Amino acid sequence: MTQFDLTDEQRQIQEMARQFTADAITPHAAEWDEKYIFPRDVIRQAAELGFGAIYVSEESGGIGLGRLEAALVMEAMAYGDPSTSAFISIHNMSAWMIDRFGSAAVKAKYLPALVTMEAMASYCLTEPGSGSDAAALKTKAVRDGEYYVVSGSKAFISGGGENELYVTMVRTSDDGAKGISCLVIEKDMPGVSFGAQERKLGWHSQPTAQVNFDEVRVPVENLVGGEGEGFRIAMAGLDGGRINIGACSLGGGQRCLDESVAYTKDRKQFGQAIADFQATQFTLADMETELQAARTLLYAAAVKVSDNAPDKTRFAAMAKRLATDTGSSVVDRALQLHGGYGYLMDYPIERFWRDLRVHSILEGTNQIMRVIIARDMLRQ
């Protein structure tokens, strides 16, 4: 990739994702949202294109692409449905963590099913009392021979109750962030249970629930990385997750901008199209400019994460902060341009307004992104 363009291969990947979205996601997304349908079959169709293991290595059965290619896919799918695209992003993040840090045994055990999304994976870090302060997590894993005995709860887990696997951060010692380890826990292991499905503002096409562990016996071979490496692994996963969720905001914002251009050219007031009014044109111009600026930063950050650049975490945080704030701002202005119609479920704008709002909270709040950025600046 040059600084300002995509390669032919990247454009082909982008076009494949756009075509899949137009055929399989966009026509159904409103119904999924309204009826709280989890489109498991469509998600597995995405996996047939390799989108269940975008940056899992080819040796492990994935398609071994970079974070920019993943961002292009997430952005394209979010144009149809940010909720479904974000769900696939979280699965990819979990599968990559197993591929990147897992032993040969744990990779052989789980990756074949994760690549095809026959098994789907959740990322379990947040707890009822531990959100932004992730290192304060309390879910405990005590070694007992060839098993860890796990007890605790995880909150706001995408895929909770539906997914087969839970990549879970647990406390194996009291040494703060250095006492956290990562385990793969199966849905059907005795002692795993789930809370009721959360009633959410948006993201209706994917399940979200609390995950509970009551003395769950997890084989030691399910450890990802070494004991005490879990927090580092969790943060490494989040660099890519932040790129992806930012890309989902860009895709949703772009959809609403495109809808707004079409609507304002068609809608007439005071004897002319509202697109002819300078106030409308200025609003559209700002929406386009801000989306393009956020996209340029996000693509640059994605390349840094792929290249393991020293400043990758700072750039991932900056890109996530800007893209998610911009996406929400663009959608909000799109709703305003649609007037009363934008508030109706007959138009897609209100769904995107609801779906994109959570992006500035998850994968690290945008306030925490500012902390990460500033700390990295001041450390130099």
242 within 8 A of 364, measured Cβ to Cβ? yes
H or E element in which residue 166 lies:
strand 165-171
How many angstroms separate the CA atoms of 153 and 128, rounded? 7
SS3 (DSSP) at 121: strand
Told to judge if 164 belongs to the known catalytic residues of this protein, a careful annotator would answer no
DSSP alpha helices (H): ranges in 81-223?
82-101, 104-116
Give the tokens for residue 122: 């959740």
d(CA 356, CA 145): 45
d(C-alpha 103, C-alpha 97), whole Å: 11
Provide the residue type at 47 as one letter.
Answer: A
Rounded distance, CA 50 to CA 44, Å?
A: 10
Helical H runs in the chain? 8-20, 29-35, 40-48, 67-78, 82-101, 104-116, 230-266, 278-306, 312-338, 349-357, 366-379
Catalytic residue among 162, 290, 350, 363: 363
Contact 38, 206 (CB under 8 A): yes
C-alpha radius of gyration, the chain, whole number: 21
DSSP category for residue 198: P
CA–CA separation, 185 vs 191, rounded Å? Answer: 11
CA distance 162 to 139: 21
With tokens 């309204």, the residue in question is 34
Beta bridge partners, 140, equal 151, 171
- Residue positions annotated with a catalytic role: 363
